[in-house]
Amino acid sequence: MLDWGILFSKQEKLDQYIIENHQLHDQDLFEEKMLALLVELGELANETRCFKFWSEKKASERSIILEEYVDNIHFILSLGLTKQYEFSQIEDETSHFTETEQFNDVFKKALKFYTEQTKETYITLFQSYIQLGALLGFTVTDIIKAYDEKNEVNYERQDQGY
């Protein structure tokens, strides 16, 4: 089982680095982070192509889908930090949805969290997203490794004026 406390800690350091770099100390970034999550969820869905019933083109490579998946982990963690909703363990249930249904569930729960910013709605969003990762075939090891790699890229981007 993944210790989410470790990733929350890494995300908090990255968030602080970004805030320092862009002098955002007194700004509430919830709206921006929420929109970023929704946009990134769409990008992830687009890479899986699970909803494109009209197309025969295959999904992107697994590595690209995993990178998009952890982009969303960054934003979900960051949203939790914004609201001070941290935890180290979370119950992970198996989804009985198709990929498309699970994406719709994540969007629905993200929008519910947007309108009801409680720890409960945050955790249900987080759980739904973890279920999506399992449906996409990602293991805890895959997620941690990809998160760490993308986290490093995010620091480099900040240093390069991204």
In whole angstroms, give the CA distance from residue 12 to residue 82: 9
| For residue 88, pLDDT beyond 80 | yes
At residue 162, the pLDDT reads 74
Predicted local distance difference test score (pLDDT) of residue 125: 97
Q: What is the pTM (predicted TM-score) of this model?
A: 0.94
Mean confidence (pLDDT) of the chain: 94
Q: Does the pLDDT at position 1 exceed 80?
A: no
State which amino acid sits at residue 58. K
Rounded distance, CA 19 to CA 22, Å? 5
* pLDDT band with cut points at 50, 70 and 90 for residue 6: very high
30-74 pLDDT per residue, tens:
999 999 999 999 999 999 999 999 999 999 999 999 999 999 999
Per-residue tokens: 54: 């009209």
Domains and CATH numbers, the chain: 4-22+31-159 (1.10.4010.10)
pLDDT (0 to 100) of residue 53 = 97
Q: Long-range contacts made by residues 76-79, C-beta under 8 angstroms, separation at least 24?
A: 76/37, 76/125, 76/126, 76/129, 77/4, 77/7, 77/8, 77/11, 78/11, 78/15, 78/33, 79/30, 79/33, 79/34, 79/37, 79/113, 79/122
The full DSSP string for 70-104 is HHHHHHHHHHHHHHT---S----PPP-S-HHHHHH
